[in-house]
Amino acid sequence: MTDLHVYDTTLRDGAQQEGLNLSVSDKLAIAGHLDELGVGYIEGGWPGANPKDTEFFARAATELRLRNATLAAFGATRRAGGAASSDPLVRALLDSQAPVVTLVAKSHAGHVERALRTTLEENLAMIRDTVGFLRGEGRRVFLDAEHFFDGYALDRAYALEAVRAAMESGAEVVALCDTNGGMLPDRIGEVVADVLGATSARLGIHCHNDTGCAVANSMAAVDAGVTHVQGTINGYGERTGNADLVTIVSNLQIKRGRQLVEERQLQEATRIAHAIAEVTNVPAYSRQPYVGSSAFAHKAGLHASAIKVDPDLYQHTDPKHVGNDMRMLVSDMAGRASIELKSRELGLDVAGDTETTERVLKRVKELELRGYTFDAADASFELLLRRELDELPDYFDVESWRVITDQRTDGEAVSEATVKLVAGGHRVVATGEGNGPVNALDHALRQALLPAYPELDQLELIDYRVRILDAAHGTDAVTRVLIETTDGSTSWETIGVAGNIVEASWHALVEGVTYGLIKAGVPVR
């Protein structure tokens, strides 16, 4: 009863996030990542309620090889007036072959009467009948007491009866759900303590983030005595999301000394969180606690000076605990310490070279005044540093480029770009077409460089972002372009700033290609 369940509901509750749509293959891939993280339970979905989740459990039975986690199927108590043994959705839970079934049940008297449209006593009978039937069929049963905290405020006695009905019928855990996400930590702690004293049930917690307190509420519940915590990877979920399970586990394990997963598993947290973000096609949140790319990033010169002496002076924990790393950001707020630490991070240490450090710092501040932002474009800063150190490979020389956009008779606008450059000892003129000027330039640049540098065939532009810096000037405004490029295993960002959006894009494209060649260790040809 003292072991803490780590229960992930990304594949069910997290999948309800706006704009997130997971295929069965996506769900199987995510389940594999969650198992690597060491979570105890993976809620796979609601079999019988939709074909996708039914297929997931069918495929999971033969394709999913879980080493750490136990698969759970989610479902509801039987219908009012029926019997659990003949309810098709309850039977679908058995057919899923999941060893654990998590039932959602009403614990809010108002929801029973207005949403279920049945009596309070019938709702308790639905809980008892469904839990008892599934237990009799050899399933472990957890129960999510939906809207529990709001129901407790309305009718404490009935909310407690719902918990007792589940516990007395054989449910291992009753998870108290802050379904509307409106609770605060002090209230969570008070209610959990009261329920524990009144029922002696094993309790869990399921929080949503509508007050921005989902993790804090989950921690408060653990402090008050719950031994089962539910959440989602990266805080996915409808509205403002669910409690971020990685943050909860990291807090409990690193800050409280609770051994929830193996140390080596927690050290994979950053990689796994980002890998799942790739599967969901939801960009990783850079400011996510522990595993975000900005979680241990330092920008201010004062911070950098202190970190140069001791990294712990401005870090709450060692980022290696979660597989993350400290990053130094270079900006107009930077001092010499920032430049020195960042150069060391990039393997181009300028510590002790005061002249170069001052020259780089001055150049950074000049460029940031014009609109550059190197804290968002590490690759461009590395190229700047190499240029100042006279270590930037001269892969190619650009003579000129141009772009023409024509609207065809069918109404479609097509861009054509021409690039003239010298690479590999040859002058090359290449033309590329695209659905826009940047796309056409990208094609033309690659076509011109591929004969000399076939390694570029592995590079792909994966993100393109534009920001207008002085909007008051309207269409005459200065534009900043950030381009993200990948080689299939990692990615990097480069920046371009100009009054002309195409020119800014060209500079970012050229830097992205140059950095890719350096990263691949390609010699100048």
Q: Coil, strand or helix: which one is 256?
A: coil
| Residue carrying structure tokens 């009863």 | 1
Q: Do 271 and 304 reside in the same domain of the chain?
A: no
Report if residue 385 sits inside a domain. no
Distance in angstroms (rounded) separating the CA atoms of residues 53 and 96: 9
Distance in angstroms (rounded) separating the CA atoms of residues 133 and 139: 9
What is the pLDDT, as a whole number, of residue 1? 36
Distance in angstroms (rounded) separating the CA atoms of residues 165 and 171: 9
Residue ranges making up the domain that contains 322: 297-368
Q: Do 161 and 254 reside in the same domain of the chain?
A: yes
What is the pLDDT, as a whole number, of residue 418? 96
What's 406's domain CATH number?
3.30.160.270
Q: Do 235 and 319 reside in the same domain of the chain?
A: no
Q: Do 84 and 197 reside in the same domain of the chain?
A: yes
Block means of pLDDT (10 residues each) for the chain, 525 residues, are: 84 93 92 94 95 94 93 96 95 96 96 93 97 97 97 96 97 97 97 96 97 97 97 96 96 93 90 87 85 75 52 78 73 58 73 78 79 77 86 93 88 90 94 91 94 92 81 68 88 89 93 93 90
Distance in angstroms (rounded) separating the CA atoms of residues 125 and 429: 79
Report if residue 375 sits inside a domain. no
Report if residue 206 sits inside a domain. yes
What is the pLDDT, as a whole number, of residue 499? 86
Distance in angstroms (rounded) separating the CA atoms of residues 142 and 172: 6
Q: Looking at 368, 384, 415, which one is the last position of a domain?
A: 368
What's 76's domain CATH number?
3.20.20.70
Q: Do 237 and 310 reside in the same domain of the chain?
A: no
Distance in angstroms (rounded) separating the CA atoms of residues 356 and 350: 7
Count of domains forming the chain: 3
Residue 249: other Cβ atoms inside 10 A: 26
Report if residue 411 sits inside a domain. yes
Task: Provide the token pair at 442.
Answer: 């990208």
Burial class (CB in 10 A: 0-12, 13-18, 19+), 464: middle
pTM: 0.70
Q: Do 272 and 320 reside in the same domain of the chain?
A: no
CB 403 within 8 A of CB 428: no
What is the pLDDT, as a whole number, of residue 97? 94
Q: Do 202 and 309 reside in the same domain of the chain?
A: no
Q: Do 90 and 15 reside in the same domain of the chain?
A: yes
Distance in angstroms (rounded) separating the CA atoms of residues 215 and 219: 6
Q: Do 250 and 350 reside in the same domain of the chain?
A: no
Report if residue 380 sits inside a domain. no
Report if residue 291 sits inside a domain. no
Q: What is the DSSP letter of 162?
A: H
Distance in angstroms (rounded) separating the CA atoms of residues 354 and 362: 12
What is the pLDDT, as a whole number, of residue 332? 44
Strands (E), 53-129: 70-76, 100-106
Report if residue 229 sits inside a domain. yes
Distance in angstroms (rounded) separating the CA atoms of residues 154 and 332: 54
What is the pLDDT, as a whole number, of residue 250? 96
Report if residue 384 sits inside a domain. no
What is the pLDDT, as a whole number, of residue 315? 79
Q: Do 112 and 195 reside in the same domain of the chain?
A: yes
Distance in angstroms (rounded) separating the CA atoms of residues 509 and 522: 18
Q: Do 46 and 131 reside in the same domain of the chain?
A: yes
